[in-house]
Chain A
């Protein structure tokens, strides 16, 4: 009997050993501790080394493995990167003069022909890139000059050229129909070149000695994806990586107090916004602009920031407030918490407070169903409490983004949280919020002033006029209240004290590995 048990046990152990696939002897390229390697932990990683594959270019750029003609700076301005200079020679023609002697990782020249080929491949292979290059003709004028010709005046083209989806790559190196996970095909520019890659798991990069900007500060970078936010926090706290991105805000105090590291929190260039459906059958009150404005005035944004982000974000009184290129937007919209105004507007709209502390009109209670996504669940819960104090019954459900999109498509929604990017081609981004066909204008709000202002923001010859139109549109968004801005998302990064040169950036894909970083 004992013999049988022993045999069964031994067989089980043997089976486990056979199946194990465990080994300490190698293959863990992204560990790399103690050899001058900076270990980076991220919440997401490129699925492909082909920047034109879906959801890859931004991650490649974030680790210093891809560059564009232009780059957006931390202050929101745009500056040349692979281009030496980009200038408008007429309202519809832009010329980009390339830096001399720039090469791809494999040594090919980054000349005008290569840039044109890169742009055309981007246009053909990637929907986002095609959108950025819509109505733009790209041509090589000489060895180092690329000309961009637009149908209409396009003053914000430099921002499009700074977009991560237009990173310059060697189009000839990516064969048609390849999966994009074959490292041998990768040929880009940037301070670091990829030398090890496992799709969606880990990536190893080494210093690119051919980089045009001099010698990059780090010899080697090992990037690993860790999906669980608490595990990322633990990695930062135990010093198992030098850079840990996307840390959970609920552990902010612990992380800020940890020795040998700093918690760098930067409000992102996107605004967590509650979009409202004026056509909702379940919440007809939202059709009334006074109710929507009351909801906006009734948000104590500082309290939301304190409770939902542990104080790491900042209040966003208007949608554009998270865009550092438009600093005055922080003075527009709902710049204070004004409960009295909120109550007055609700009273004027006929939603009166009952003895039970709830507001109702013609016997129907004022209720709103709020769908949130991801980390915005905490924001939703604080809003629920704050609007509850106004007498509004808010039901919050945290769901996956596809359910939010489906609810919007079917029209069965009252309120949803989303956070669209605010920094980039601002006229187009704000048109998406409030334009007649805007992708984020979920409630299809209209106003006679909008088309003219959008045209001015995109096409006025004078920059001051364009800027004024953007601010006016932002003010109009606050006034119409199709949505309620709350706060920017937070980019919380753990940086070991041994790393120097990290500059916090409001764009996530510019916020991890930077060329001037060094390991002390």
Chain B
């Protein structure tokens, strides 16, 4: 029981425990759904500092924008950014969501049941969740079709 409890408590951090910083100041950043090695535009656009972490089934490209927002991009072994998360002042979502940004905006605008504060968008493949308050926004976006097998997108932070 105690072991189970401990295991359950540790579970959200398992991925973090496995992380090994493999590179510093990597320029490899890109938008959701794009190839991780193809562009460095996000980092340049956001003037962010970057570090890359490796997990067992994906790599995490973490950057901190000058305004203090932490942005993480999750890349699958095949090199595709399948998820992004953020925390702090609202980031440039157009940059982070790339070609999916318009879909996001259209979905928010057409939400049937009004959600006061934060969104939960699910267009089938694209899922975007946001929350928080003024000065502190949190968010998570992922493409279901690109999430590696065995990875729980809900646990990405």
* A, B from the same assembly: no
Residues of B within 8 A of A (CB): none
Residues of A within 8 A of B (CB): none
